[in-house]
Amino acid sequence: METKGVAAIVTGGGSGLGAASAAKLASKGARVAIFDMNEETGRAHAAKIGGSFFRVDVTDVASVQEAIAAAEKVHGVARVLVNCAGIAFGTKTVGKEFAPHPIEQFRKVIEVNLIGTFNVITHFAARAAQADPLGEERGVIVNTASAAAFDGQVGQAAYSASKGGIVGLTLPVARDLAQHAIRVVTIAPGIFLTPMMAGLPQNVQDSLGKQVPFPSRLGKPEEYALMVHSIVSNPMLNGETIRLDGAIRMPPR
């Protein structure tokens, strides 16, 4: 799909991988709507790239529906969706003093990362499916999983389950939406320099980067964004999960 003049939505677009994706799409002429919970960073980034900001809780049906409708009034029917909104907690299945993993924490990660992703997908697709085709397709959806979907580490039960769920829904959703000419592709990034990672000491960042076979460094958000644009641009990419990880396979710890 040609991005110039096309309306796009990026969830979690106020920072990290989402912010880089939003900037990349905007640089290619897309009219970008940032959906994020953080108003300060979301509005600032939207202003920087010439886009629009909408405060959205991806787990809430009404919030998503209202934001999609509001973004459409500003930019037109969205044809590109990039799902980057997500959270992460590190908790073992059985913790110190034999404490069980807090089930509410597990449920929250699933709710935001997996159910939130699907919530935005289904409402975006329901609208895009009614739009006229742009060439041979009506829309493109790019989801964010993680290498943890395949190589979950100690303490990542909830996070890995949520990202594994995104991998699992990619093909069936692509098949569901094929009749509407909407593609679905998932990216599973490895270790990237996100705001959470940037908060770690430099020696820890360097140590993590050295675990990557090549290039032996942390991934750059701009490299994730480059993959997003490549997926949007290539009509034969569909129903697949692409690892973007420098060939790393995460160790247990």
**Digit-coded pLDDT (tens) for 212-246:** 999 999 999 999 999 999 999 999 999 999 999 99
Of 126-130, 202-206, 232-236, minimum mean pLDDT range = 202-206
Tally of domains in the chain: 1
Q: Let me know if residue 251 belongs to a domain.
A: no
Give mean pLDDT, residues 148-171: 96
The residue assigned the tokens 């000419």 is 181
**Domain range enclosing 191:** 7-244
pLDDT band at 253 (very low <50, low <70, confident <90, very high): confident
DSSP letter for 94, please.
B
Q: Let me know if residue 253 belongs to a domain.
A: no
Query: Phi and psi (nearest 5°) for 165?
Result: -65, -35
Q: Let me know if residue 2 belongs to a domain.
A: no
Residue 224 is among the residues annotated as catalytic for this protein: no
Task: Residue 192: give its domain's CATH number.
Answer: 3.40.50.720
pTM of the complete model beyond 0.85: yes
Beta carbons of 190 and 13 less than 8 angstroms apart: no
Displacement of CA 102 from its chain's centroid (Å): 25
The residue assigned the tokens 């108003």 is 39
The one catalytic residue in 159, 169, 187, 243 is 159
Question: In a 3-state reduction of DSSP, which class is residue 244?
Answer: strand
